[in-house]
């Protein structure tokens, strides 16, 4: 589940950092970071695909995400998963079992769901490399790879497609060492909508008889 969180959040909160980078990759990531951080909020629909050629797995789920600063809400209805974070607390709700797990953001140093942890993960554990310019589905894109500099993440690389016209993430593929590929394809994106802070807080009143597991 952490890999799912990592891929979803990393694509939409992608930032350039001071890790080792070739010059062209650094320039692209700097532009993506500048563009992304200029928005008050980002709302996007996406497809999440899990592939494993050896095991014959090709599963696709559609979802949506809302980002407002370090607050976020992720909805994967096909998986019955909703994740709320108001920057300090995170609620993971699973429809199957009508159960929500509550924890403080940052309690688990291995938890890649926290955007702040994501930033430091990139800074410490990834190097970036420009691969090539290409055309995908009629769009001109930059292809950049993120390569781990240690084995802690169990990831061989992350391939990121950046739309050259908007300098926003178009898609990404996380290549796991276990043979799985986690693919995100952005379908629609709207920026600078006004979202109240309550959108990023789990409201137990909207989920009758929910079981609360409080790990704080």
Query: pLDDT value at position 122?
Result: 45
Contact 19, 26 (CB under 8 A): no
Report pLDDT for 197.
97
CB atoms within 10 A of CB 41: 17
pLDDT digits (tens, 9 = 90+) for 167-201: 988 888 888 888 889 888 888 889 999 999 999 99
**What is the band of 111 on the pLDDT scale with cuts at 50, 70, 90?**
very low
- What's the pTM value of the predicted model, to 2 decimals? 0.80
d(CA 195, CA 42): 10
Domain with residues 2-214, CATH architecture = Clam (2.50)
Distance CA 3, CA 176 (A): 9
Phi, psi of 114 (to 5 degrees): -70, 120
Predicted confidence at residue 36, as pLDDT, reads 80
**Band of the pLDDT at 57, cuts 50, 70, 90?**
very high
Quote the tokens at residue 165.
């016209």
The domain limits of the chain are: 2-214
Q: What is the pLDDT of residues 21-51, one digit of tens each?
A: 688 988 888 888 788 888 899 898 988 888 9
Averaged pLDDT score across all residues of the chain: 82
Provide the pLDDT for residue 115. 39
Mean pLDDT of 100-122: 56
* 13 confidence band (pLDDT: 50, 70, 90): low
132 close to 151: Cβ distance less than 8 angstroms: no
pLDDT score, position 70: 82
Predicted confidence at residue 30, as pLDDT, reads 81
pLDDT in tens, 69-94: 888 898 989 889 999 999 899 999 99
């Amino acid at each position: 589940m952490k890999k799912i969180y990592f891929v979803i959040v990393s694509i939409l909160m992608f930032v350039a950092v001071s890790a080792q980078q070739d010059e062209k990759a650094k320039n692209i990531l700097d532009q993506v970071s500048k563009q992304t951080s200029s928005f008050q909020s980002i709302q996007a629909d996406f497809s999440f695909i899990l592939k494993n050629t050896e095991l014959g797995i090709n599963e696709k789920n559609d979802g949506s995400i809302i980002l407002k600063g370090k607050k976020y809400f992720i909805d994967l209805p096909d998986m019955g998963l909703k994740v709320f974070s108001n920057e300090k607390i995170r609620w993971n709700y699973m429809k199957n079992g009508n159960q929500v797990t509550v924890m403080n953001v940052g309690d688990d140093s291995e938890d890649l769901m926290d955007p702040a942890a994501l930033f430091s993960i990139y800074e410490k554990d990834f190097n970036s490399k420009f691969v090539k310019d290409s055309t995908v589905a009629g769009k001109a894109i930059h292809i950049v790879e993120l390569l781990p500099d240690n084995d802690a993440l169990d990831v061989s690389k992350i391939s990121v497609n950046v739309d050259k016209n908007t300098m926003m993430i178009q898609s990404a593929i996380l290549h796991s060492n276990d043979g799985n590929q986690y693919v995100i394809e952005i379908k629609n994106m709207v920026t600078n909508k006004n979202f109240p802070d309550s959108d990023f807080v789990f409201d137990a009143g909207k989920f009758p008889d929910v079981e609360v597991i409080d790990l704080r």
